[in-house]
Amino acid sequence: MTATEPAELASRRAFRAPLLHFLSDPGPSLSPAAAEYFEDGLLLVENGHVERVGPAAELLGQLGEDWLLTEHPGKLIVPGFIDSHIHYPQTDMIASYGEQLLEWLNQYTFPTEGRFADPAHAADVANFFLEELLRNGTTTALVLGSVHPQSIDAFFAAASARNLRMLAGKVLMDRHAPDSLLDTPELAYHDSKALIERWHGQGRQLYAITPRFAPTSTEAQLEAAGRLAREYPDTYVHTHVAENQSEVAWVAELFPWSRSYLDVYDRHGLLRERAVYAHCLHLNERDRQRMAESGAVMAFCPTSNLFLGSGLFDLEAADEAGVRVGLATDVGAGTSFSLLQTLNEAYKVLQLNGQKLSPYRAFYLATLGSARALYLDHLLGNFEPGKEADFVVLDPAATPLMARRLAKVENLLERLFVLMTLGDDRAVAATYIMGREAHRRCAPSAVALSGRSADPA
Ligand SMILES: [Zn+2]
């Protein structure tokens, strides 16, 4: 349930709570040096942007009467979560049983995406999807639409209405899918170009050139995608690579000249800064080097990789190669919109690989790390002055079990680990966009009694 604030609120707002954000990548370290934490903190927001952050005791006395103070005692304010790879048309097919990637696409995905030819359906799903992101504390996402340009018009219209910073693009697909879902190299080029002209840089919206994956694009279409990527260098490129072994073998058959799966994209000019590749499970050293030197990005999708039985992401190898890594749900193959639950599974994937994910690194990846992966860290991802004030109020005692476990917790590191292991949408007390409340969780029992929130978050 979402409760929003009245429109006539002050332009200068102060938020008091325990407060955590990151200034750099903590790596595997258990030291909080890369983070800034205020046990009793104050976040000052002016006209939707961060003015300052610091200890409440120091800052409260400096505020004039025109500042509106909101207190969230016992909660934890962090920057808004960032999802670096997700499919909005797949909202209605999350939790579809029994298949691995290629069969799952044919059996569930293509029929579901076919419905997005209808703009009313696209708008309905886009609105639900964005509310679900906000309920989970996700304030920015890199999103795939369907092949239909109207799916992206509907999505950006819904995102603009909420003033959200979103990145999205129409899927390019001209073979190996049902006829009703195919475009052509020419249509892919012209439809994407029109969407870029209409939406890229419009308000907070940013465009991503989005070939689904190499097997569903001819070389002529990949060529067209590369041309767009050159003509619009500040747009994004967004696709999948090396998710599943059968997929990798299929790409080798379809592109017999290629050195590797990644090489297919490289030869078409699709490796560059702001090019985001989901999964990156079955890569070699040369591939990782190419990603690092080109500025391309890996999106780590742990729940999806487990759900489709695809494989285990190697974070250490990505770090060693110096590749930017973002965290991602990959709904609908991912099984949760919650980036807290995604961190829970990321921790386990890395355990199976003999690697560790410290709670500091985890919360960095969900915030500043993914902002950096999306080349947005100059705009958001932490509370440096001037940044866009998208943030989340977390409730570390959101459930009876969390409250009980929290009572035994002795430090911030343990508190973060409980949040990422046991937390989900219930732990998101409120979500703010540009300093304005966009979601507030209502206690279910209070709703039943009074019909409105009795929980001041
Ligand atoms: Zn995906």
Q: What is the pLDDT of residues 248-258, one digit of tens each?
A: 999 999 999 99
What separation in Å is there between the alpha carbon of 30 and the centre of ligand 1?
31
What separation in Å is there between the alpha carbon of 105 and the centre of ligand 1?
10
Strand 436-440 with 428-433, pairing? antiparallel
Q: In 3D, which of 202, 143, 219 has the Cα closest to residue 227?
A: 219
What separation in Å is there between the alpha carbon of 51 and the centre of ligand 1?
36
Determine contact, residues 326/297, Cβ cutoff 8 Å.
yes
What separation in Å is there between the alpha carbon of 87 and the centre of ligand 1?
6
What separation in Å is there between the alpha carbon of 275 and the centre of ligand 1?
14
What separation in Å is there between the alpha carbon of 444 and the centre of ligand 1?
33
Cα–Cα distance list, 188 to 157, 172, 173, 176, 177 (Å)? 21, 6, 8, 16, 15
Q: What is the pLDDT of residues 91-116, one digit of tens each?
A: 999 999 889 999 999 999 999 999 99
What separation in Å is there between the alpha carbon of 193 and the centre of ligand 1?
22
Q: What is the pLDDT of residues 269-320, one digit of tens each?
A: 999 999 999 999 999 999 999 999 999 999 999 999 999 999 999 999 999 9
pTM score = 0.95
Q: How far apart are CA 273 and CA 449, in angstroms?
A: 52
CA atoms within 13 A on the CB side of 2: 18
Q: How far apart are CA 265 and CA 226, in angstroms?
A: 9
Q: Reply yes or no on whether the pLDDT at 47 is more than 70.
A: yes
In the structure encoding, which two tokens stand for residue 290, read together? 């190419």
* Amino acid making up residue 436: R
What separation in Å is there between the alpha carbon of 367 and the centre of ligand 1?
20
What separation in Å is there between the alpha carbon of 426 and the centre of ligand 1?
25
What separation in Å is there between the alpha carbon of 384 and the centre of ligand 1?
31
Q: What is the pLDDT of residues 320-345, one digit of tens each?
A: 999 999 999 999 999 999 999 999 99
What separation in Å is there between the alpha carbon of 442 and the centre of ligand 1?
31
* Amino acid making up residue 121: H
Q: Reply yes or no on whether the pLDDT at 141 is more than 50.
A: yes
What separation in Å is there between the alpha carbon of 241 and the centre of ligand 1?
9
What separation in Å is there between the alpha carbon of 302 and the centre of ligand 1?
11
What separation in Å is there between the alpha carbon of 162 and the centre of ligand 1?
24
Grade residue 450 by pLDDT with cuts at 50, 70 and 90: very low
What separation in Å is there between the alpha carbon of 24 and the centre of ligand 1?
27
What separation in Å is there between the alpha carbon of 441 and the centre of ligand 1?
28
Q: Please, which residues bridge with residue 209 across strands?
A: 237
What separation in Å is there between the alpha carbon of 320 and the centre of ligand 1?
25
What separation in Å is there between the alpha carbon of 101 and the centre of ligand 1?
10
Grade residue 193 by pLDDT with cuts at 50, 70 and 90: very high
Cβ count within 10 A of residue 106? 14
What separation in Å is there between the alpha carbon of 86 and the centre of ligand 1?
6
Question: Quick one: pLDDT at residue 2?
Answer: 45
**How much is the mean pLDDT over the chain?**
94
What separation in Å is there between the alpha carbon of 287 and the centre of ligand 1?
20
What separation in Å is there between the alpha carbon of 226 and the centre of ligand 1?
20
